[in-house]
Amino acid sequence: MNSPRTLYQKHIDSHTVCPLDDQGHVLLYIDRQVANEYTSPQAFSGLREAGRNVWRPSATLAVVDHVNPTAPVRIATMPDAGGALQVSYFEENCRDFGIELFDVLDKRQGIEHVVAPEQGFILPGMVVAAGDSHTTTYGALGAFGFGIGTSEIEHLLASQTLVYKRLKTMRVTVEGLLGTGVTSKDIIMALIEKIGASGATGYAIEFAGPAITDLSVEARMTICNMAVEAGARGAFMAPDHKVFAYLQVKPRAPQGEVWKQAVEKWKELYSDEGAVFDREVALNVNDLEPMVTWGTSPDQAAPVGSHVPDPAAQPDLILRQSMQRALNYMGLEPGMPLSDVVISHAFIGSCTNARIEDLRDVARVVRGKRVAAHVRAMIVPGSTLVRNQAEDEGLAQIFLDAGFEWRQSGCSMCLAMNDDVLAPGDRCASSTNRNFEGRQGAGARTHLMSPAMVAAAAITGHLTDVRSFALEA
């Protein structure tokens, strides 16, 4: 009998072209790739310079998302020369190498990690790589996704493979029932706070347990998406009937007999009984509160009802110094209640939290209310399809009535590569994934939280426990 294997091992075994040494390196076959305009140009240039072709053009889907503006009226012209150059070179590369492209005017355009699942481009059992760290998102569909740099994109385009070293495996078992107003974002933020920003470096994480299976597929994507903020090079969840139902209606899902055949195979995608993980972590969410970050690393987070921590209480010198540096940057004093932190901006967007369910969460909080007078509040839907659906469901009108800007899709102020940039000293409640120094603009301050929590902060003007709002069903 074969020894029990983890879901991760099953994916790597089934995609190994050949082992390359006895230290865990393999030549790994990659089923699909998603490309964007800002990490791919030098990869295509490399192919051109070496006279190489793209191995399998149909394996790649190209989406413009990082540099495009999100102003409410869509235009094809990029306002800045750099972005314009990247988009035009991207178009040229896709045309010359036969790769399908969703440009900014395409109805299917959006953030790559929202678009690819939405199109049914990512399926269980696949190994997917992309030039973006949040490729881990696809673990929620039972696929293995991971981010790569530009040199690896070139390698992948040229050979459909990567030289890959097997990771260690970590299982995070999540038990308990989430309370009202507490979301999957709070689960992953609590995990990152618990194990640290490098707690999963060198690992692939598998999320398991009843609190995970209770979640919708979109909510699961939020968890896998942010696993990289704990250092994980991949995240997994065993695909179940919710995943199959999610995929069956997607445009590129297999049809008919092939669908049935695929589902039969996908049902084998789980970690075998007795499979051994290199590390096990347990989390109970019964008492989990909505989380917010107070610092400049995603692990510097705390329940919204608590206080800004005191570096003096941290015994480890390096951690103490990084806390002190973070508080200086964030302009916060130890001991201050987090709910006293006044914001200037609220941002709903990103591949972490800008899907339709996220927008429904926001609408439940803000319906019939007004954004605080001193707050600029923006909603940037994860894709143009999400935007259209939100308009059809009447959510967009709720946002507009409450005083939110209702914008076009893109990565936007998650990393501020386009013109959505904060000014020094601005303080933003953000549904995104990174609170790094300067991430949303030089000198700008980011507090990460769930979309519902951003909505609550937008209304009150300060960090606020969303559970103090009477939530409509």
- 290-319 residues near another protein, rule: CB under 8 A: 297, 299, 318-319
Quick one: 389 exposed, middle or buried, by C-beta within 10 A (0-12, 13-18, 19+)?
middle
Q: Coil, strand or helix: which one is 227?
A: helix
Using CB under 8 A, pick the residue from 79, 98, 149, 210 that binds another protein. Answer: 149
- Measured from the CB atom, the residue of 42 and 468 that comes closer to another protein is 42
User: What's the closest the beta carbon of residue 282 comes to another protein, in angstroms?
Assistant: 23
User: What's the closest the beta carbon of residue 455 comes to another protein, in angstroms?
Assistant: 26
Q: What x-and-dash track marks residues 165-184 binding another protein by CB under 8 A?
A: x-------------------
- Measured from the CB atom, the residue of 82 and 394 that comes closer to another protein is 82
Which residues, numbered 241-300, are part of the site for another protein (CB under 8 A)?
254, 258-259, 261-262, 265, 297, 299
**Of the ranges 281-289, 306-314, 343-351, 431-439, which one interacts with another protein (CB under 8 A)?**
431-439
Does the protein bind another protein through residue 142 (CB under 8 A)? no
CA dihedral sign, ordered 424, 430, 432, 434: positive
- Measured from the CB atom, the residue of 85 and 276 that comes closer to another protein is 85
Using CB under 8 A, pick the residue from 202, 337, 394, 425 that binds another protein. Answer: 202
Using CB under 8 A, pick the residue from 54, 126, 211, 457 that binds another protein. Answer: 126
CA pair distance 67, 70, nearest whole angstrom: 9
Tokens of 427: 């303080």
Using CB under 8 A, count the residues that bind another protein: 78
The dihedral region occupied by 103, where left means phi > 0, alpha psi between -120 and 50, and beta the remainder, is beta
- Measured from the CB atom, the residue of 353 and 384 that comes closer to another protein is 353
Which residues, numbered 393-422, are part of the site for another protein (CB under 8 A)?
415-417
Using CB under 8 A, pick the residue from 1, 2, 3, 23 that binds another protein. Answer: 23
| DSSP string covering 258-320 | HHHHHHHHHTT-SPPTTPPPSEEEEEE-TT---EEE-SSSTT-EEETTSBPPPGGG--SHHHH
The secondary structure of the chain in percent helix, strand, coil, rounded to multiples of 5, reads: 35, 20, 45
Is residue 110 within 8 Å of 383, Cβ to Cβ? yes
**Of the ranges 1-9, 146-154, 210-218, 364-372, which one interacts with another protein (CB under 8 A)?**
146-154
Does the protein bind another protein through residue 147 (CB under 8 A)? yes
Q: Coil, strand or helix: which one is 8?
A: helix
User: What's the closest the beta carbon of residue 63 comes to another protein, in angstroms?
Assistant: 15
Q: In whole angstroms, what separates CA 226 from the centre of its chain?
A: 5
Closest to 189 measured CA to CA, from 365, 360, 327, 352 = 352
CA pair distance 158, 106, nearest whole angstrom: 27
- Measured from the CB atom, the residue of 101 and 362 that comes closer to another protein is 101
Using CB under 8 A, pick the residue from 131, 139, 145, 451 that binds another protein. Answer: 131
Tokens of 433: 């994934």
User: What's the closest the beta carbon of residue 369 comes to another protein, in angstroms?
Assistant: 33
User: What's the closest the beta carbon of residue 253 comes to another protein, in angstroms?
Assistant: 8
User: What's the closest the beta carbon of residue 335 comes to another protein, in angstroms?
Assistant: 23
- Amino acid identity at 263: V
CA pair distance 425, 327, nearest whole angstrom: 13
The Cβ-side half-sphere exposure at 364, using a 13 Å CA radius, reads 19
Which residues, numbered 224-243, are part of the site for another protein (CB under 8 A)?
231, 233
User: What's the closest the beta carbon of residue 339 comes to another protein, in angstroms?
Assistant: 26
Which residues, numbered 32-71, are part of the site for another protein (CB under 8 A)?
38-39, 41-42, 45-46, 50, 52, 55-56, 58, 67
Phi/psi at 153 (5° precision): -60, -45
Which residues, numbered 337-356, are part of the site for another protein (CB under 8 A)?
none
